[in-house]
Amino acid sequence: MGVNGAQEVFFAILIIFSGLYLISKKGNVLLLEFAVFAIPFAMLLLSALLAEFRYGQPVIYGIAEFRRVLAILIFFPLIHGLKVGYVTKGDILKWLKLIAIVLGVLNVFVGASGGLELSQDSFERVGIGQHFVALGAILFFFDWISGREKSALASYFFLLIVLLLVIQTRQIVIATIIASLFLMEIRGKSTVFFAVLIIIFLISLSFESVSSSLASRIPRVTELINGSDELSDSARGNAVRAIFQVFKESGWALGYGGLYVNWNDGFKYYFGPNFILADVGLLGSVFRFGFAGVLIFLGYLYFQVKYIRSISDRAVKRICIAVFIQLLVMSPVASILDYRGHVAGVLLALSCSLRKRDSLSGGQSGLQREL
């Protein structure tokens, strides 16, 4: 779904901007900046080379298959804009919330018109920008829990219901709720929140949707929430079993790369139609990269935790931790750097720019002053 070539143009712009940004630093490049630029290209090339070594896939197909890893380069325009003052942290968060609402409405209209087709193998991927929808939900919840915007709770539940009923992604909903629970420590509203949450979900599960195409999805959502045999019948379960079988027979340390669906039907020839690395998160990263994937993930955790810990403003730190928790909870089914690089890049840019400089002033945080 989307405009053909738009993703490639976006990535090309990110590459050019990132390169120019680093050149303008004239050798004064931070270790984090070097890592954010170099690691995606290293991952891209390594995945392509491993796929050629293991399966004979030409390198160009391997690069095309894994190009989404370049999304983390969104870090550079954000960090540049924050440093030179083109945008403030408050501006970015406001735009993220607006984007989340627009994407939520778009998902509803496209879903109501039948544009979001469910797949028996992996229906989670039909949504439009679902991770920015989830990110926006956390930001709205933060607005409400901190007492700055009472109407934000309505936006929060709208986005949560879009994730549940339209996009139908149980893992993101769970991750968003867990991140929201973490934020509740700011204010003692847990009882009210749980009561409203239960009511909203009961209504949403019995909700007659805006069209028959959405209404037909609700029983499937209920089955997914209540079902216990999802793993055995899903594409994810098939992929997990296939990966462990490969590890058992041939080891895991060197990795296997990723096959592009436009080259000999990708992994279908080797593992059948239900083998989808995107569905198995960190396990898919280990399959793709082997031990190198473990090191890359640990390196990302080191930088992200380091910069979040250095934020002195407690409220700001908690919202960054909440987003980080959301990414970690989703990582077993959606590896952060492999498939959620855009959100990881936003979080890295915000936490890097917020470090040490956002101290409490007169009882009000720097973020709250901007907003």
| Average pLDDT of the residues in 93-103 | 90
Please determine, for residue 48, whether its predicted confidence score (pLDDT) is greater than 90: yes
pLDDT at 345: 92
Cα 4 to Cα 68, 87, 122, 144, 296, distances in angstroms: 14, 30, 22, 38, 31
Q: What is the dihedral of CA 100, 102, 108, 112, to 10 degrees?
A: -150
- Please state, for a pLDDT cut of 70, what percent of the chain lies above it: 75
Higher pLDDT, 133 or 195: 133
Segment among 104-118, 221-235, 274-288 with least mean pLDDT = 221-235
- Quick: pLDDT tens for 196-210: 665 555 455 444 333
Banded model confidence at residue 234, pLDDT cuts 50, 70, 90:
low
- Structure tokens that stand for 230 in this block: 């999802």
- Structure tokens that stand for 369 in this block: 């002053």
Q: Which of 39, 119, 18 is nearest to 336 (CA)?
A: 39
Please determine, for residue 127, whether its predicted confidence score (pLDDT) is greater than 70: no
pLDDT at 114: 53
Residue 361, SS3?
Answer: strand
Instruction: Give the count of alpha carbons within 13 A of 39, CB side only.
Output: 24
| Average pLDDT of the residues in 56-61 | 92
Question: In the chain, which ranges are continuous DSSP H helix?
Answer: 6-24, 31-55, 59-65, 75-84, 89-112, 130-145, 152-161, 170-183, 190-205, 212-215, 218-226, 230-233, 235-250, 268-271, 281-289, 291-309, 314-330, 336-339, 341-354, 366-370
Rg (CA), the chain: 21
Give the C-alpha separation, 137 to 344, whole Å: 16
pLDDT at 212: 39
Q: Are 235 and 278 in contact (CB under 8 A)?
A: no
Banded model confidence at residue 224, pLDDT cuts 50, 70, 90:
very low
Cβ neighbours, 10 Å, residue 338: 26
| Average pLDDT of the residues in 227-241 | 60
pLDDT at 226: 43
Please determine, for residue 361, whether its predicted confidence score (pLDDT) is greater than 80: no
Residue 364, SS3?
Answer: strand
